[in-house]
């Protein structure tokens, strides 16, 4: 369904963003491997995480979901234990979710059966060679389309051996796939990261009693005989909060409060970059929710200046780049995003798509192989735009519509269901429509 937006006179209110997507996937998956029942409050009941749950059911895992509000649910998982999964009768469909496919592949590599993973048109164009390589080194057999590069991905699991593996790309999904396979391996698994990526898998595994240690740039896992179950609340998703952080910063009359947002340092790159740009963002005192730090965040209208974003910052804000690009269009001066070639293999080629769509809105943006350059300060003019089915682009373009002169129509409004089903209601709550 398409949505038409105009800039409201004020943006004001409190938005309790839904639970973190990365943590929700992991809580479901690890809960399934635990011994005993796992409870997860504020589980993200969005299409990506539902894809993980459906795959788990096809592997014989029982769970129950009670939705409290759009995208917000309580999840109970009956842990099958490390040896309790059973061979699926059909192909497993990860739909739009790279996290489902890649993390599950790590688990399936260690199972004594054969499984096949596929996904929607977008996911079938995304790389899997990055997990095929380490999981083969561990002893599993994997085959994929297009020279073992793209899904569908067939996995004949078996007895794995631990490996020492240095990640060729900074990817939490690949790191997690290797660690999850390591749960089923003989001997230790060591994963080294060139740049730190989100560490939610590690935090949960440690909470479940796994012998997992951080050693310099590496992680060392000794295979456990069992994992204890979880009783967990999921913090608000900083990647969902990102849209309100940008809307509230750029809009000239704004104050938005975002309670209980996850502020794990591997995820807070956008907060750092917005601060560098001159944003007035108040991050309240941190407290722990489950294994993760959270804080209440208040964002107010600010004058922004352009900034350079590169290197180790990228993994800490990779999913927030579409929102950041909208902020950059309103910032005085030039914003450069480099070292972000990974954006080309997300739910869409986000570098190409952002360039095309922001140009429609009148932005001066130049595409680069690994990022883009935006000459900001001229704002945006309303136009007809599309996220092309990519949820984060759709939401970033909606924010652009809240800030642009005139009327903006976003064509594929339903794509928000992938990670933020209540997005349009929350947009109304802060005064947009
Ligand atoms: C995720 C890791 C990131 C991120 C994705 C979620 C995760 O992907 O972009 O949205 O939950 O591990 P990569 O591992 O491909 O960098």
CA 26 to ligand 1: nearest atom: 11
Where residue 202 falls among pLDDT bands split at 50, 70, 90? very high
Q: Are 255 and 298 in contact (CB under 8 A)?
A: yes
Per-residue pLDDT at 217: 82
**3-state percent breakdown (helix, strand, coil) of the chain, nearest 5:** 35, 30, 35
Number of residues in the chain: 433
Q: How far is the CA of 119 from the centre of ligand 1 (A)?
A: 16
Q: What percent of the chain has pLDDT over 70?
A: 100
Taking only the tens place, the pLDDT of each residue in 227-246 is 999 999 999 999 999 999 99
Same domain, 241 and 193: no
Same domain, 99 and 191: yes
Same domain, 149 and 263: no
Taking only the tens place, the pLDDT of each residue in 160-191 is 999 999 999 999 999 999 999 999 999 999 99
Where residue 323 falls among pLDDT bands split at 50, 70, 90? very high
Per-residue pLDDT at 48: 98
Mean pLDDT of 149-163: 97
Same domain, 214 and 330: no
- Name the residue at shortest CA distance from atom 4 of ligand 1: 319
Question: Catalytic residue among 296, 319, 390, 412, which?
Answer: 319
Same domain, 328 and 219: no
Q: How far is the CA of 315 from the centre of ligand 1 (A)?
A: 9
Residue from 19, 20, 22 to probe ligand 1 pocket by mutation (most atoms less than 8 Å from CB): 22
Where residue 216 falls among pLDDT bands split at 50, 70, 90? confident
Q: How far apart are CA 295 and CA 78, in angstroms?
A: 31
CATH at residue 109? 3.65.10.10
Q: Are 350 and 390 in contact (CB under 8 A)?
A: yes
Same domain, 170 and 130: yes
Count the domains in the chain. Answer: 2
Same domain, 144 and 249: no
Taking only the tens place, the pLDDT of each residue in 50-81 is 999 999 999 999 999 999 999 999 999 999 99
Same domain, 8 and 56: no
Whether pTM exceeds 0.75: yes
159 CB neighbour count, 10 Å cutoff: 12
- Collapsing DSSP to helix, strand or coil, 23 comes out as helix
Q: How far apart are CA 279 and CA 273, in angstroms?
A: 9
Q: How far apart are CA 270 and CA 319, in angstroms?
A: 9
Residue 319 is a catalytic residue:
yes
CA 175 to ligand 1: nearest atom: 14
* Range(s) of the domain holding residue 351: 3-18+235-431
Taking only the tens place, the pLDDT of each residue in 259-297 is 999 999 999 999 999 999 999 999 999 999 989 999 999
- Collapsing DSSP to helix, strand or coil, 383 comes out as coil
Same domain, 8 and 71: no
Q: Which helix (H) or strand (E) holds 412?
A: none
């Amino acid at each position: 369904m398409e949505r038409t937006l105009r800039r409201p006179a004020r943006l004001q209110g409190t938005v309790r963003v839904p639970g973190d997507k990365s943590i929700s996937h992991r809580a479901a998956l690890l809960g399934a491997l635990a011994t005993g029942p796992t409870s997860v409050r504020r589980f993200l009941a969005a299409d990506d995480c539902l894809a993980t749950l459906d795959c788990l059911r096809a592997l014989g895992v029982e769970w129950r979901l009670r939705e409290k509000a759009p995208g917000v649910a309580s999840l109970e998982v009956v842990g099958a234990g490390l040896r309790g999964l059973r061979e699926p009768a059909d192909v497993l469909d990860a739909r739009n979710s790279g996290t489902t496919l890649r993390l599950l592949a790590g688990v399936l590599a260690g199972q004594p059966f054969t499984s096949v993973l596929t996904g929607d048109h977008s996911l079938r164009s995304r790389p899997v060679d990055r997990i095929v390589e380490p999981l083969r080194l561990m002893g599993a057999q994997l085959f994929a389309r297009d020279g073992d590069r793209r899904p569908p991905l067939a996995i004949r699991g078996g007895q794995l051996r631990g490996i020492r593996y240095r990640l060729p790309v900074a990817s939490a999904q690949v790191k997690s796939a290797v660690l999850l396979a390591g749960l089923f391996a003989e001997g230790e698994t060591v994963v080294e990261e060139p740049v730190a990526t989100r560490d939610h898998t590690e935090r949960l595994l440690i909470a479940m009693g796994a012998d997992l240690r951080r050693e310099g740039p590496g992680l060392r896992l000794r295979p456990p005989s069992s994992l204890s179950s979880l009783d967990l609340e999921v913090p608000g998703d900083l990647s969902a909060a990102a849209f309100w952080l940008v809307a509230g910063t750029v809009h000239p009359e704004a104050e938005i409060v975002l309670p209980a947002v996850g502020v794990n340092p591997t995820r807070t790159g956008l907060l750092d970059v917005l601060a560098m740009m001159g944003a007035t963002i108040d991050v309240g005192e941190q407290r722990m929710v489950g294994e993760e730090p959270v804080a209440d965040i208040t964002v107010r209208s600010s004058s922004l200046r352009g900034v350079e974003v590169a290197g180790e910052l990228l993994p800490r804000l990779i999913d927030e780049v579409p929102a950041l690009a909208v902020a950059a269009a309103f910032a005085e001066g030039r914003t450069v995003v480099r070292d972000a070639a990974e954006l080309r293999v997300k739910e869409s080629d986000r570098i190409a798509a952002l360039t095309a769509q922001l140009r429609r809105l009148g932005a001066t943006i130049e595409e680069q192989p690994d990022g883009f350059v935006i000459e900001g300060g001229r704002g945006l003019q309303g136009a007809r735009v599309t996220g092309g089915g990519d949820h984060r682009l759709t939401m970033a373009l909606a924010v652009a519509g809240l800030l642009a002169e005139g009327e903006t129509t976003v064509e594929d409004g339903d794509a928000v269901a992938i990670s933020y089903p209540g997005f349009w209601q929350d947009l109304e709550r802060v005064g947009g429509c």
